[in-house]
C-alpha cells in the first residue's frame, strides 16, 4: 500500500469507485487495473518507498526543447512550470477532468432539463478546475497553489503541487462585524430554564481554519475569509455530528444560511403541527420550489434529530405542547388511553386531535391538548418560529475566484461531496453517477461503490429532550 490514511474513518481501497475521482499518474498497475494516485497532499515521509520513487522520477516538471504548437499545449507547459509538476501528469488528469465534467453535464441536462451552455465551464475555468482536482486528495483538500483573493502560494525548497511536509491551516475566518450579520450577531433568545444550548457557536471564527468532515476527510481553507466572502463551497453539520451536507453558492455564507434557516425552521414547524393542521392554516399553496425543499434530506433529518429539535424548542418554547410525553407504566397507559378516547369522542378539541400521532410509548396529556388548542386560537403560529435560528453548524471549506461560474462551483462541490461521503446530499455523489454510467464515460471503474445513504431516522425523535420545568404537562 502506497499510503495509509490516519484521518479517514473508512479507508479508501483501490477497489473503491472514489479512486476514479482522485488525481493520479498516467501509469497504472495493468495487471490489477489499479491507478497510481498522486497523493499531492501527503507529505513524503508518509509514502511507501515505491510511491516516493514514483514521485521523484515522474512527478516533477522536466525541461524540454519541444515547443508547444497550440493554446492547449501552451497552457499545459505553463502550468507544468508554475506548479512544478510533469506535463504528462497534467495532460492525463486534464482529460480525466474533462470526462467528469462531461458526465455531469449529461446528467444535469437529462435530470434538470437545462441547456448545454448552462452547464459547461468557460474556457478559462478549465485550468482552475484542474488546479482544484489535483489537490482534492485522498483524505485532504489543500489548495497550496492558491494565488487569488489575498492568498499567497506556499513556498518551499521544491515549490510544487506536491506536499513535502504536513499540510497546515494558513488563513483565518474573521467576523465582518456588520450589525445586520446573523453570524456575528445571532438573533437567538436566551432560554430562562435551560443551561447550555444558547451558548452554541454556528461558525467557528479564528486563524488557521481547517474543517474535519464526519467521515474524517479534512479541508484546509485556501483564502482569507469573512462572513461576506462570496463564491464559496460550504458545509453544514448537524449538531448530532452524525451527518453533514455540502453546498455551493455565489452568495456569502450569511446570505446563504438565511435561505437554509427559512426552509429548515418552516419544515420543523410543519413536522410538529402535522400535515392536516398545516394545510388548514396555510395562507397559500406551496410553490414547486418549496415542495422540492420539503423532501430534501438536509431538512428532513432535522425533524428526526432530537438535538436539532432541542435547539428549535429552546428558541421557540411555545412549541413544547406538541412534544409528546413518554409513558410511565402499563397502568398509566391504560388510563391515559381511556382519557384520550373520551376526549376524541366528545370532540372537545378543535386542533389537538389533528396533530401527528405520538411514537409508540408516548402520549399527549389532557393539559397538552388544551395548550395546543390555545396555540391556534391565539394564532401564535403567525409570529413563530424564529426564522433566524440556525439548525446546523456551518463552515466555509473552499473559496473560488470572484468570477467563478456556477458550473465550476458545482464541479468542485461534487468532488468534495464524493470524497467526504456526505449523507445529506442527494445530488453530487460522482461515485453513484459513475456506477450508473459506466459504459458511457472514459473513466476507470472499480468493482464496488461506497455507500452514502442517509442515516436511518429514529421513531422516537422526542427522546432525550430537556423539557423546561415550566413546560411540564400533567394528565
pLDDT digits (tens, 9 = 90+) for 203-249: 999 999 999 999 999 999 999 999 999 999 999 999 999 999 999 99
For the entire predicted model, the pTM comes to 0.90
Query: Poorest-confidence range of 137-141, 313-317, 380-384?
Result: 380-384
Q: Which residues pair with 448 in a beta bridge?
A: 16
Question: Residue 230 sits in which domain range?
Answer: 171-187+200-250
Buried b (16+ CB within 10 A) or exposed e, 270-287: bbbbbeebbeeeeeeeee
Q: Say how many domains are in the chain.
A: 1
Residue 125 in domain: no
C-alpha 231 chain-centroid distance: 16
Residue 243 in domain: yes
Grade residue 467 by pLDDT with cuts at 50, 70 and 90. confident
> Between these two residues, 188 and 260, which has the higher pLDDT value?
260
pLDDT digits (tens, 9 = 90+) for 40-82: 999 999 999 999 999 999 999 998 888 888 999 999 999 999 9
DSSP, collapsed to helix, strand or coil, labels residue 285 as coil
Give the pLDDT of residue 440.
Answer: 45
Q: Which residues pair with 210 in a beta bridge?
A: 220
Q: Which residues pair with 35 in a beta bridge?
A: 28
Residue 470 in domain: no
Residue 416 in domain: no
Residue 224 in domain: yes
pLDDT digits (tens, 9 = 90+) for 318-342: 999 999 998 886 545 544 554 555 4
Grade residue 449 by pLDDT with cuts at 50, 70 and 90. very low
Residue 196 has pLDDT above 90, yes or no: no
Contacts of 291 (CB under 8 A, 6+ apart): none
Residue 324 in domain: no
Cell 389532557 found at: 366
Residue 281 in domain: no
Determine the Cα–Cα distance for residues 104 and 1; give it in Å rounded to an integer. Answer: 31
Residue 151 has pLDDT above 60, yes or no: yes
DSSP, collapsed to helix, strand or coil, labels residue 115 as coil
Cα dihedral 114, 427, 406, 416 in deg (nearest 10): -150
Residue 219 in domain: yes
Give the pLDDT of residue 452.
Answer: 37
Amino acid at each position: 500500500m502506497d499510503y495509509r490514511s490516519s484521518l479517514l474513518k473508512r479507508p479508501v481501497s483501490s477497489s473503491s469507485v472514489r479512486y476514479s475521482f482522485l488525481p493520479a499518474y498516467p501509469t497504472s498497475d495493468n495487471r490489477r487495473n489499479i491507478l497510481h494516485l498522486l497523493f499531492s497532499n501527503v507529505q513524503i515521509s508518509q509514502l511507501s518507498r515505491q510511491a516516493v520513487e514514483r514521485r521523484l522520477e515522474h512527478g516533477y516538471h522536466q525541461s524540454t526543447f519541444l515547443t508547444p504548437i497550440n493554446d492547449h499545449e501552451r497552457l499545459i507547459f505553463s502550468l507544468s512550470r508554475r506548479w512544478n509538476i510533469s506535463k504528462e501528469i497534467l495532460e492525463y488528469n486534464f482529460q480525466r477532468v474533462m470526462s467528469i465534467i462531461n458526465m455531469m453535464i449529461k446528467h444535469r441536462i437529462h435530470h434538470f432539463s437545462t441547456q448545454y451552455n448552462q452547464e459547461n465551464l468557460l474556457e478559462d475555468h478549465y485550468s482552475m478546475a484542474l488546479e482544484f482536482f489535483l489537490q482534492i486528495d485522498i483524505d485532504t483538500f489543500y489548495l497550496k497553489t492558491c494565488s487569488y483573493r489575498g492568498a499567497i502560494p506556499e513556498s518551499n525548497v521544491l515549490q510544487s503541487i506536491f506536499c513535502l511536509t504536513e499540510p497546515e491551516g494558513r488563513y483565518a475566518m474573521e467576523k465582518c462585524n456588520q450589525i445586520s450579520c446573523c453570524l456575528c450577531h445571532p438573533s437567538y433568545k436566551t432560554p430562562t430554564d435551560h443551561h447550555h444550548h444558547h451558548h452554541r457557536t454556528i461558525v467557528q471564527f479564528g486563524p488557521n481554519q481547517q474543517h474535519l468532515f464526519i467521515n474524517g476527510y479534512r479541508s484546509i481553507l485556501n483564502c482569507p475569509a469573512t462572513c461576506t466572502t462570496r463564491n464559496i463551497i460550504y458545509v453544514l453539520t448537524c449538531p448530532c455530528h452524525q451527518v453533514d451536507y455540502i453546498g455551493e453558492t455565489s452568495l456569502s455564507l450569511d446570505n446563504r444560511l438565511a435561505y437554509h434557516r427559512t426552509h429548515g425552521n418552516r419544515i420543523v414547524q410543519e413536522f410538529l403541527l402535522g400535515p392536516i393542521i398545516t394545510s388548514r392554516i396555510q395562507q397559500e399553496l406551496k410553490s414547486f420550489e418549496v415542495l422540492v425543499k420539503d423532501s430534501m434530506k438536509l431538512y428532513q433529518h432535522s425533524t428526526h434529530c432530537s438535538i436539532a429539535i432541542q435547539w428549535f424548542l429552546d428558541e421557540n418554547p411555545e412549541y413544547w405542547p406538541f412534544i409528546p410525553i413518554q409513558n410511565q407504566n402499563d397502568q398509566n397507559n391504560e388510563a391515559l388511553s381511556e382519557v384520550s378516547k373520551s376526549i376524541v369522542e366528545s370532540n372537545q378539541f378543535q386542533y389537538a386531535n389533528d396533530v401527528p400521532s405520538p411514537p409508540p410509548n408516548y402520549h399527549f396529556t389532557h393539559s397538552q391538548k388544551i395548550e395546543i388548542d390555545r396555540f391556534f386560537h391565539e394564532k401564535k403560529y403567525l409570529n413563530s418560529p424564529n426564522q433566524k435560528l440556525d439548525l446546523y453548524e456551518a463552515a466555509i471549506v473552499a473559496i473560488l475566484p470572484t468570477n467563478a461560474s456556477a458550473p465550476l462551483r458545482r464541479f468542485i462541490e461534487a468532488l468534495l461531496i464524493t470524497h467526504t461521503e456526505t449523507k445529506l446530499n442527494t445530488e453530487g455523489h460522482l461515485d453513484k453517477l459513475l456506477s450508473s454510467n459506466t459504459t458511457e464515460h472514459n473513466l476507470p471503474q472499480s468493482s464496488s461503490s461506497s455507500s452514502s445513504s442517509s442515516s436511518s431516522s429514529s421513531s422516537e425523535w422526542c427522546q432525550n429532550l430537556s423539557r423546561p420545568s415550566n413546560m411540564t404537562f400533567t394528565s
